[in-house]
Amino acid sequence: MQPIDAEDPRRPYLKIAASIRAAILSDEFAPGARLPSGDELAEFFGVARATVASAVRVLQDEGFVQSRTGSGVYVTSRARMPVAEGEPHALAGAATFLHEAGHLKNLPRSGWLLLGIRQPESVAEHSFRVGLIGIVLAALEGANPGQTAALCLMHDVHETRIGDVPSVGRNYVTTAKPQAVTAHQTAGMPDEVAKVLQELTGEYEDTETIESRVAHDADKIETLIQAREYGMQGYATGPWEDTSIQALRTESGKQLARAVVAGDPHSWWSTFASSYHELRAATRARQG
């Protein structure tokens, strides 16, 4: 459980319910587990026992817990959230957001269309490798890998609504800020979920933390790597490579870019391919 946030404007019993609910959903309290006593919860959250009782009633109404006379309060099913007939599910907003994020798989990275690439990578494909690069750079820069990866995954989600505007288009159009788009995308979600997603977008756009700077470098290095790969197919990707390298901010990002430029995009498999017959013979010998 997390202590309640004094700056959170919600009433205390709602904040306590949210904290316990999150603990149940994250398996801190498994189905069938007994919650701490009312006195223990009141001491932990720094509130009166009556406030805790109100929070427990909320969780009972949602189906997360049940009270057993003389025994305590127990977790029921962490996956069940009863919904009155005709009313939207409590997590409907989160489900809608996840469906919307899936549209990134259908959204091409528009800059590559300028090179005549008819089926360029999607924004989702780009974001996946940005996340992996972010983990690598975070380890090198001493940043938090998990936070960096989360920033990388969220950095282009707003494009489901405004599209992927190529560099030539940015001189002619003005779009909503990513923070505003994320605020609309997360409307209707549980507050604790919406807050996390909105803060990730805000942190990435503000570039004030080391994790956000690393995430920006990861975005540029992924573009550099993709440019190198398209370049091997005969496309003139020089300008994409140059601008990606020039935008890097961290020393680790610059070093990784040098390694990318010096390497061969096919090197990861070519060595194994050239030894294919020898590898098969060795495998058969071991099995024989």
pLDDT 10s digit of each residue in the chain, 288 long?
A: 889 888 888 889 999 988 998 888 777 888 888 999 999 999 999 999 999 999 999 888 877 888 888 889 998 865 455 555 666 777 888 999 999 999 999 999 999 999 999 999 999 999 999 999 999 999 999 999 999 999 999 999 999 999 999 888 888 988 899 999 999 999 888 888 999 999 999 999 999 999 999 999 999 999 999 999 999 999 999 999 999 999 999 999 999 999 999 999 988 888 777 787 787 888 888 886
For residues 111 and 34, what is the distance between their CA atoms, to the nearest angstrom?
Answer: 55
Q: What integer pLDDT is reported at residue 187 of this predicted model?
A: 85
Numbered ranges of CATH 1.10.10.10 in the chain:
12-75
- Compute how many other C-beta atoms are within 10 angstroms of the C-beta atom of residue 109: 21
**Fold of domain 12-75:** Arc Repressor Mutant, subunit A (1.10.10)
Q: What integer pLDDT is reported at residue 60 of this predicted model?
A: 85
Q: What integer pLDDT is reported at residue 58 of this predicted model?
A: 86
Q: Which of 1, 37, 46, 62 is nearest to 192 (CA)?
A: 1
* Number of residues in the chain: 288
Paired tokens of 106: 């259908």
SS3 234: coil
Distances (CA, A) of 280 to 51, 70, 266, 276: 68, 67, 21, 6
- Compute how many other C-beta atoms are within 10 angstroms of the C-beta atom of residue 190: 16
Is 94-272 in CATH node 1.10.3210.10?
yes
Numbered ranges of CATH 1.10.3210.10 in the chain:
94-272
For residues 32 and 57, what is the distance between their CA atoms, to the nearest angstrom?
Answer: 17
Distances (CA, A) of 103 to 159, 174, 186: 9, 22, 16
Q: What integer pLDDT is reported at residue 80 of this predicted model?
A: 53
